[in-house]
Amino acid sequence: MAEGFLKSFDPNIEVYSAGTKPEKEVNPYAVTVMKEKRINLEQNVPKNVDQFLAQSFDYVITVCDSAKETCPVFMGNVKHRLHMGFEDPAGASGTEEEILKKFRDVSDQIEAEFFKFYKNNLKD
């Protein structure tokens, strides 16, 4: 979701999203919630962070609560390392509407925090 939001703020910035234990596909609830915000994640494919370890980045931002502790060390040149912890909505349970509500709540938090980040660090 963070990648989708950043690209929606500015389609010209390079954004890569990866996880320490990526799923086989993007969570369908995330796809649904982001589609409500006019952001299409249907073509996105989860990637393992290992494929990016040798690259250089201006920012590396971890987003899940546990990722700060389990994220591998990046071997490339990283100018700024940030952590923005969000609850992983993939663990939500209940009715379909309760699960969607959790995804909506978390996506709203991600959107707000990443817009602040974009405005303060990336916007010209």
Distance between CA atoms of residues 54 and 32, nearest Å: 33
Q: Please list the pLDDT of the chain residue by residue as tens digits (124 residues).
A: 999 999 999 999 999 998 878 899 999 999 999 999 999 999 999 998 888 888 889 998 888 776 555 555 566 678 998 888 898 898 899 999 999 999 999 999 999 999 999 999 998 7
CATH number for 39: 3.40.50.2300
Instruction: Classify residue 98: in a domain, yes or no.
Output: yes
Q: Which residues, 6+ apart, have CB-to-CB distance to 9 below 8 Å?
A: 114, 115, 118, 122, 123
Instruction: Classify residue 107: in a domain, yes or no.
Output: yes
Full-model pTM: 0.88
Instruction: Classify residue 123: in a domain, yes or no.
Output: no
- Determine the pLDDT at residue 16: 92
Instruction: Classify residue 96: in a domain, yes or no.
Output: yes
Instruction: Classify residue 124: in a domain, yes or no.
Output: no
For residue 23, how many other CB atoms are within 10 A of its CB?
Answer: 10
Amino acid at 81: R
Instruction: Classify residue 20: in a domain, yes or no.
Output: yes
Instruction: Classify residue 84: in a domain, yes or no.
Output: yes
Instruction: Classify residue 122: in a domain, yes or no.
Output: no
User: Domain of 101?
Assistant: 2-117
Count of structural domains within the chain: 1
